[in-house]
Structure 1
Amino acid sequence: MANPVPRVRVPASAKKGEIVEVKTLISHDMESGQRKDSAGATIPRKIIKRFEARYNGKNVFEADWNTSVSTNPYQSFFFRAQESGTLDCAWTDDDGSVYKSTSKINVA
């Protein structure tokens, strides 16, 4: 598989105190480690095990994922925007790889 591609949809602007929805999707095979390839060898496990979202450095959402999570996992969540800032999302893979996405929100 090519490098996983994270995508985040977040409003570009919000009113102070507004609850905003964040929608995330990452292109990833999420291999469980239980399937075999055409030669009969077990395909090694490679899943995203953790998702974290921080707004201006403060943790606003986190999730621990396991083998039951589907290919190309989708995650949505809500948080209250109190000030303009940056939303940093990070997906951590079994092998320690981290895939990141950064979005800006303007709060008026």
Structure 2
Amino acid sequence: MAVTRITVPDKVQPGQILEVQWLIAHPMETGHRSNDQGQVVPRDIISRFECRYLGQTVISLELFPAIAANPYFAFTMVAERSGDLEFVWTGDHGFEQRELRRLEVQT
């Protein structure tokens, strides 16, 4: 399992714009680099990310070999009620990681 760092505000007001940030530890090997023995290092990237809030997709990304190792992204969204944010990363060699974060909306 890859190490992730996800930042979501503890509490927000209904309708407030909030920023969500995430970083995932992953080598993001392009498949174009050689090791010390001259052998090509196999491609190993996260190819897709999706975040859902209350079952609805908030953001969906396709990632490509040009993305740096340990990718970091931030996005904004609006929340009207409390619920879970589900983060899903998928990639090469059957890689899949899911994380949940609770978003509390004050009423």
Q: TM-score, normalised by structure 1?
A: 0.94
**Residue of structure 2 in register with 1:81 after alignment:** 79
Which residue matches 1:11? 9
CA RMSD of aligned residues (A): 0.9
2:48 is aligned, of 50, 62, 65, to: 50
Matches within 5 A, 1:18-57: 18-57=16-55
Number of positions where the alignment pairs a residue of Structure 1 with one of Structure 2: 106
Deviations 1:11-60 (A, max 9, x none): 11110111110000000100000111111111100000011000111100
Map 1:57-76; keep pairs closer than 5 Å.
Answer: 57-76=55-74
- Structure 1: unaligned runs, 5 residues or longer: none
CA distance, structure 2, for counterparts of residue 23 and residue 43 of structure 1: 30
Compute the displacement of 1:73 (Å).
Answer: 0.2
Structure 2, unpaired ranges of 5+: none
The percentage of aligned residue pairs carrying the same residue is 38
Q: 3-state SS of the aligned residue for 1:61?
A: strand
1:104 counterpart (79, 102, 105): 102
Secondary structure in 2 matching 1:95: helix
* TM-score, scaled relative to structure 2: 0.94
**SS of residue paired to 1:89:** strand
